């Protein structure tokens, strides 16, 4: 059963009681909340995802609640939402309208702190014809914008935040959750993909104004189809620049990727081997871009890397 097939009232009831076991691909996420609005927004963002049967095994257990505050005043005045992972809140509570981004960050936090069956790199990943494009990026570099743009023009979304690389075979597992957009890129993508569903903008977060874009249904349907990494492209948005791809020496790329990995050090020798194998088989570029149309044209035309000898 898909989340979108569940009637809003049934959903709210279920999320209030036993919680919702959402099959997000590599992980089953259990979310419990009495906040009906949050349930509705989750339903809109995750409508194409499959629900697991009740009474199963989940990877992460999250609850979003209203903290009561001193004398319970927070129940009525300046309401807040607080996320609990199991029973421990990883973050301070935030105003209630930030519940969606806070929940999304908390799910990311669960993966970043609890998952080691993959080498995890902070990167967007997209796929064409079985070949994966990895877009690692520091915050603000334009990774998510590019990711949202490609995901709505023929590329399959694997993930906006996590490249999950399997140490055994180097394949990348998808985790096609909503794409998070910030500030100016919100309008850029709204114009680029007018039909894409976006959650209501949330202002004044630590990252500015944030929206989440519903992942394309086809990407969600193929959430278990892995892809082989072919290109690693470090994007930077530069206003007014002519789009250009510059090859990057692989040794440099190695250190940059290790630097934006969540668990490179934790995996020890396995992390080193997985990362070096991936870089050996991929072509690596730095990519300065200002126009999404041109970016799309350049990235589609990337030749496949030469096979390893």
125 within 8 A of 155, measured Cβ to Cβ: no
**Which of these segments, 56-64, 127-135, 144-152, 275-283, binds other proteins (CB under 8 A)?**
56-64
Would you give the binding string for other proteins spanning residues 265-284, x where CB under 8 A is met? xxxx----------------
Residue from 47, 58, 193, 288 touching other proteins (CB under 8 A): that is 58
Cβ closest to other proteins, residue 58 vs residue 217: 58
CB of 107 to other proteins, least distance (A): 9
Q: Rounded to whole angstroms, how far apart are CA atoms 129 and 4? A: 28
Cβ distance 19 to 30 under 8 Å?
yes
Taking the least distance from each CB to other proteins, the nearer of 94 and 299 is 94
| Residue among 114, 203, 204, 241 that touches other proteins (CB under 8 A) | 114
Residues 6+ apart with CB under 8 A from 41: 99, 100, 199, 200
Which positions from 195 through 234 interact with other proteins, judged by CB under 8 A? 205-207
Binding of other proteins at residue 70 (CB under 8 A)? Answer: no
86 binds other proteins (CB under 8 A): yes
List the one residue from 16, 61, 131, 277 that touches other proteins (CB under 8 A): 61
270 or 290: CB nearest other proteins: 270
What φ, ψ does residue 270 adopt, rounded to 5°? -65, -40
Residue burial 22-45, b: 16+ Cβ < 10 Å; e: rest: bbbbbbbbbbbbebeebbebbbbb
Q: Would you give the DSSP letter of residue 203?
A: E
Q: How far is CA 196 from CA 45, 65, 148, 151, in A?
A: 10, 29, 10, 10
Provide the binding-site residues for other proteins, judged by CB under 8 A. Answer: 28, 55-59, 61, 86-88, 90-92, 94, 101-102, 105-106, 108-109, 112, 114-117, 122, 139, 161, 205-207, 263, 265-268
């Amino acid at each position: 059963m898909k989340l979108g097939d569940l009637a809003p009232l049934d959903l709210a009831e279920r999320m209030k009681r036993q919680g919702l076991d959402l099959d997000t691909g590599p992980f089953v996420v259990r979310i419990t909340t009495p906040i009906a609005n949050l349930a509705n927004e989750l339903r809109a963002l995750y409508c194409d995802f499959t629900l697991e049967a009740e009474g199963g095994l989940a990877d992460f257990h999250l609850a979003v609640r209203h903290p009561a505050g001193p004398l319970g005043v927070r129940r009525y005045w300046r309401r807040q939402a607080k996320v609990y992972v199991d029973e421990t809140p990883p973050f301070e509570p935030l105003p209630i309208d930030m519940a969606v981004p806070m929940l999304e960050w908390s799910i990311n936090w669960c993966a970043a702190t609890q998952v080691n069956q993959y080498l995890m790199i902070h990167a967007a990943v997209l796929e064409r014809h079985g070949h994966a494009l990895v877009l690692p990026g520091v915050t603000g570099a334009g990774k998510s914008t590019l990711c949202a743009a490609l995901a709505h023009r023929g590329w399959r979304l694997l993930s906006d935040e996590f490249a999950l690389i399997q140490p055994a075979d180097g394949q990348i597992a998808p985790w096609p959750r909503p794409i998070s957009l910030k500030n100016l890129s919100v309008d850029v993508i709204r114009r680029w993909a007018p039909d894409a569903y976006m959650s209501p903008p949330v202002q004044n977060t630590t990252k500015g104004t944030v929206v989440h874009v519903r992942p394309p249904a086809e990407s969600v349907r193929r959430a278990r189809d892995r892809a082989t990494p072919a290109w690693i492209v470090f994007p930077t948005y530069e206003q007014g620049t002519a789009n250009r791809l510059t090859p990057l020496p692989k040794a440099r790329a190695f250190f940059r990727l290790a630097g934006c990995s969540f668990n490179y050090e934790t995996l020890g020798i396995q992390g080193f081997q997985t990362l070096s194998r991936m870089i050996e088989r991929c072509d690596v570029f730095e990519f300065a871009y200002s126009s999404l149309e041109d970016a799309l044209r350049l990235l589609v035309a990337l030749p496949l890397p030469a096979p390893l000898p």
